[in-house]
Structure 1
Amino acid sequence: MKVRVLGSGAGGGFPQWNCNCHNCARLRQGSLRGSPRTQSSIAVSSDGAHWVLFNASPDIRTQLEHFPAAYPRHGVRDSGIKAIILIDSQIDHTTGLLTLRESTRPLEIYCSEMVRQDLSTGFPLFPLLEHYCGVNYHPVPLDGSGFTIPGIEDLRFYSHALKSKAPPYSPHRQAPHDGDNIGVIVERISTGRKLYYAPGLGEIEPHVRAAMESADCVLVDGTFWHQDEMERAGVCAKLALEMGHLPQAGPGGMVEVLKALPAARKILIHINNTNPILDEDSAERKTLEAAAIEVAYDGLELDL
């Protein structure tokens, strides 16, 4: 299985356009050892030619321009991207669908019913796209059962509901529903090798822990280091868990969870611009290195 990290940042990317936090300011000044990041998205394939896109960030055009495997190869208009799985309906994971409106055939979109509702009402991308390429909607199961995608050989996908948050625009932001956010196991059928992908993760429920323990590689929520990180950065008083993200530090935090896993590779993605792990010389980054936990970056490629 081939995995390409197209974008590894949280909403707004890094540096964020209007942010002068400790990280963003130093990156612009050249005094922080770190890398810019676009908003989070990955692509997976079994053959390197036919890809499934996970989320469509506002940065999708730039991300695909830096990803030769997705370039058109057949005819005047084409793409290596054959289907899209939406993890949630957050603006930073779906706005890129507007860029993909130039497709010559309907977008094959796999998502939960709750995401379909949000993208049909509160943020009506699906009705809007009907005036362009159109959308073929495919519901994903929330009970962990598997599904395959036509044209994507040797890969099976297993999806389940996560404890997280619907977007601020969603009618049920304060009344969570199963399917607001999902985690996905991607299995290569011929080898049994598995990737677990969950860029938004607020709680390690039993089925989540089981999925993580079964995977050869986990690529999971690395948004915040501290529970009160946004307040520490002088941005706002919102807590990480209130925003649907399990912080890395502290008892029960993501670092503790990942250290206990048998997975060969443990990688954090969806890194917020305030997170100290973006500074490669930080004490927090050294903590991750000591625990054999990686930090995703744009362009990272995995071969499972």
Structure 2
Amino acid sequence: MLGSAAGGGAPQWNCACPVCRDARRDGRDRTQDTVAVTGDGTAWYLLNAGPDIRTQILRTPELAPGPGLRETPLRGVLLTTAELDHTLGLLSLREAVRISVFATATVTHALTTAFPLRPMLGAYTDLDWRDMPTGVVLDGGLVAQRITVGTKRPRYAGDAPGDDWVSALRLTDTRGGSSFVYATCLPVWTPAFDVFVAGADEVLLDGTFTTDDELTRSTGRPGTAQRMGHLPMAVSRPMTARHPATRFRYGHLNNTNPSSGDDIAGDGLELFTDH
């Protein structure tokens, strides 16, 4: 877990809500949602690339460069949305000799036209932009499966075409069979998603908001969690009981979310250590 907060991090720079005030007082900091995964401990992939990616990589020894001068264990980035808080970190990787980016055609088109991150990044590094259908084989013994869970466009995308805007990923280690589901932007728990998580060892769920009205109660701003594309924890927690053998945790916490406990993921948490 490189980062466990929603866009803006926690505390958010311009927010004086109770959660942000307490975080400042106690010196607690959640950086923005990004996860690093590996099958063999050598080849690593990022699940999204948030704006805090440079700081996150520097404080993660497993992602340190070497032994070659510009050799890095980072093999690529798998994007689950086109949202700014999940993609802006790509610009911080522009020093790479080569970057492999996996995304749906819908997300790629948005990042090429509506927000031209792809051509901007391509001016600095060799881009290997790959389509991510329902499955892809990665280096290091990982297989990534994808399912579309939402159709909400980023604000900047306007009427951009496509339906595969928000994805959940299931990463499986082909050696031992361990599997991890990443679904930090989940608008609704559908029967298809229930099948997708069945049998997984670990699932990281959308923990943006505790309740549907959290944002309004905390800040006075209008808008509900589900209208913003996030299933509240109060709704998803009962769903997890259907899978008693799977460990569920919550990431992507908004700065207004005061949740704590064993199922709340934090920066630096290691989900698997068997590699």
TM-score range, shorter chain: over 0.9
Offset of residue 235 of structure 1 = 4.3
Which structure 1 residue ranges, 5 or more long, are not aligned? none
Aligned residue for 1:199? 184
Q: 1:237 pairs with 216, 222, 226, which one?
A: 222
TM-score (ref. length: structure 1): 0.86
1:148 aligns with 2:137: yes
1:95 aligns with 2:88: yes
Offset of residue 199 of structure 1 = 0.8
Query: Match of 2:206, as an amino acid?
Result: D
Offset of residue 58 of structure 1 = 0.4
Offset of residue 190 of structure 1 = 2.0
Task: Rate the CA distance shift 1:228–1:63 in 2: closer, same or farther, 3 A.
Answer: same
* Within-5 A mapping of 1:102-181: 102-105=95-98, 107-141=99-133, 144=134, 146-149=135-138, 152-172=139-159, 177-181=162-166
State how many pairs are aligned: 273
DSSP-derived class of the 1:83 partner: strand
CA contact (8 A) 1:162 1:178 kept: no
Offset of residue 254 of structure 1 = 1.1
Deviates more, 1:164-173 or 1:237-246: 164-173
In structure 2, how many angstroms separate the alpha carbons of the residues matched to 1:295 and 1:131? 39
* Within-5 A mapping of 1:1-304: 5-30=1-26, 35-105=28-98, 107-141=99-133, 144=134, 146-149=135-138, 152-172=139-159, 177-249=162-234, 253-277=235-259, 280=260, 285=261, 294-303=263-272
Query: Match of 1:147, as an amino acid?
Result: V
Offset of residue 164 of structure 1 = 4.9
Offset of residue 103 of structure 1 = 0.6
Offset of residue 262 of structure 1 = 2.6
TM-score (ref. length: structure 2): 0.95
Deviates more, 1:234-243 or 1:257-266: 257-266
CA contact (8 A) 1:230 1:237 kept: yes
In structure 1, how many angstroms separate the alpha carbons of the residues matched to 2:159 and 2:67? 43
CA contact (8 A) 1:161 1:179 kept: yes
Which structure 2 residue ranges, 5 or more long, are not aligned? none
CA contact (8 A) 1:201 1:221 kept: yes
Offset of residue 302 of structure 1 = 1.8
Runs of 4+ in 1 over 4 A off after TM superposition: none
Query: Match of 1:114, as an amino acid?
Result: T
Offset of residue 261 of structure 1 = 1.7
In structure 2, how many angstroms separate the alpha carbons of the residues matched to 1:95 and 1:263? 36
In structure 1, how many angstroms separate the alpha carbons of the residues matched to 2:107 and 2:97? 24
Query: Match of 2:14, as an amino acid?
Result: N
In structure 2, how many angstroms separate the alpha carbons of the residues matched to 1:256 and 1:103? 43
Task: Rate the CA distance shift 1:99–1:235 in 2: closer, same or farther, 3 A.
Answer: farther
The CA deviation string for residues 56-92 of structure 1, in whole angstroms up to 9 with x for no partner, is: 1100000000111111113211221111100101100
Query: Match of 1:85, as an amino acid?
Result: L
DSSP-derived class of the 2:219 partner: coil
Query: Match of 2:57, as an amino acid?
Result: L
In structure 2, how many angstroms separate the alpha carbons of the residues matched to 1:163 and 1:130? 28
DSSP-derived class of the 1:6 partner: coil
Deviates more, 1:223-232 or 1:68-77: 68-77
